[in-house]
Amino acid sequence: MKLIKIFLITIILTPLLSFGQGDKPLNLPKYDKQFMHFGMSLGLNTMDFTIRPSSKIFTEDSVYAIENFRQPGFNINIVTNYNLLDNLSLRFLPGLLFGERDLRYTVKNSDTTFTRVLMKIESTFLDFPFLIKYKSDRLNNFRAYVIGGGSFKYDLAAKDHIKPEERPMIRLIKPDFYYEIGAGFDFFLEYFKFAIELKLAVGIRNVVVYDDSQYTTSIEKMNSKMVILSFLFEGSDLSNFNIFTKRR
């Protein structure tokens, strides 16, 4: 929610910033004539799960409830942008995402008392997003955009086996596919383009690796979900090479 608040504040302030530009000279006037350009992205994220409890949760199993808690993380990506049309780009942003998701189980004991079990699930994702970026026309040195697409993510930190001293703990699958949607703002500065972007990524696969424990059988389906706030820095160094420049 903090990431969303930061982005909303930016949305409110952006019209004031763009209005104040007046008739200032254009920065990077040939930027959009490039066929390709590169950059990097640094950001923050929150990861959590969407959980569908099993029908057994109040009957056969002693698990009474499952709660999911978001935790902050960070991410770093390399930006590769291909300008397909004047207002349309294809983007590939390979990178790494680091984060944690906490699950708290409420377990009903035989004497009708309750025990709470907290699982801290750390994740390190190899991230391979392919996105389409639709851009508005430039307003001096500013423009808005929306993005959408999909990604493949591979969790390097997901465990193949749980050691006895780590129990109770559940295992997650490593590969997953996500659909992603978001929006952002481009700011054309003197030497590079800076962007602020907020994105939602939702996993498609059920990530639970089932075993004979009550902690997995109490879950019918569990999907990953991420909110990602990114700060992007994209250069125009390739504008000097005709091969990467659009012909008028």
- From the CA atom positions of the chain, what is the Rg in Å? 22
Question: For residue 173, which phi and psi values (nearest 5 degrees)?
Answer: -70, 155
Regions of the chain with pLDDT less than 70: 1-24, 56-61, 236-248
Instruction: Let me know if residue 28 belongs to a domain.
Output: no
CB 120 within 8 A of CB 99: no
CB 40 within 8 A of CB 78: yes
pLDDT in tens, 143-174: 999 999 999 999 999 988 888 888 889 999 99
Alpha-helix runs per DSSP H in the chain = 2-19, 214-217
Instruction: Let me know if residue 246 belongs to a domain.
Output: no
What tokens appear for 73 in the block? 């993380």
Instruction: Let me know if residue 217 belongs to a domain.
Output: yes
> Residues of the chain with pLDDT > 90: what percent?
59
Instruction: Let me know if residue 231 belongs to a domain.
Output: yes
Distance between CA atoms of residues 29 and 26, nearest Å: 6
Given this model, what pLDDT does residue 29 score? 87
What tokens appear for 210 in the block? 């089932």
CB 59 within 8 A of CB 217: no
Instruction: Let me know if residue 30 belongs to a domain.
Output: no
> How many domains are contained in the chain?
1
The residue written with tokens 């909110």 in the block is 227
**Residue 90, Cα to own-chain centre: how many angstroms?**
17
What's the first-to-final CA gap in the chain, in angstroms? 44
CATH number for the domain spanning 228: value is 2.40.160.20
Distance between CA atoms of residues 171 and 210, nearest Å: 8
The residue written with tokens 């808005």 in the block is 144
Instruction: Let me know if residue 7 belongs to a domain.
Output: yes
Distance between CA atoms of residues 58 and 20, nearest Å: 59
Given this model, what pLDDT does residue 73 score? 95
Instruction: Let me know if residue 24 belongs to a domain.
Output: no
The 10 Å CB-count burial string (b at 16+, else e) for 68-98 is eebbebebebebebebeeeeebebbbebebb
Kindly list the distances between the CA atom of residue 101 and the CA atoms of 41, 163, 218, in Å, as whole numbers in the listed order.
Answer: 23, 19, 18
Instruction: Let me know if residue 188 belongs to a domain.
Output: yes
The 3-state DSSP composition of the chain as helix, strand, coil percent (nearest 5) reads 15, 60, 30
Domain of 187 in residue numbering reads as 2-19+38-237
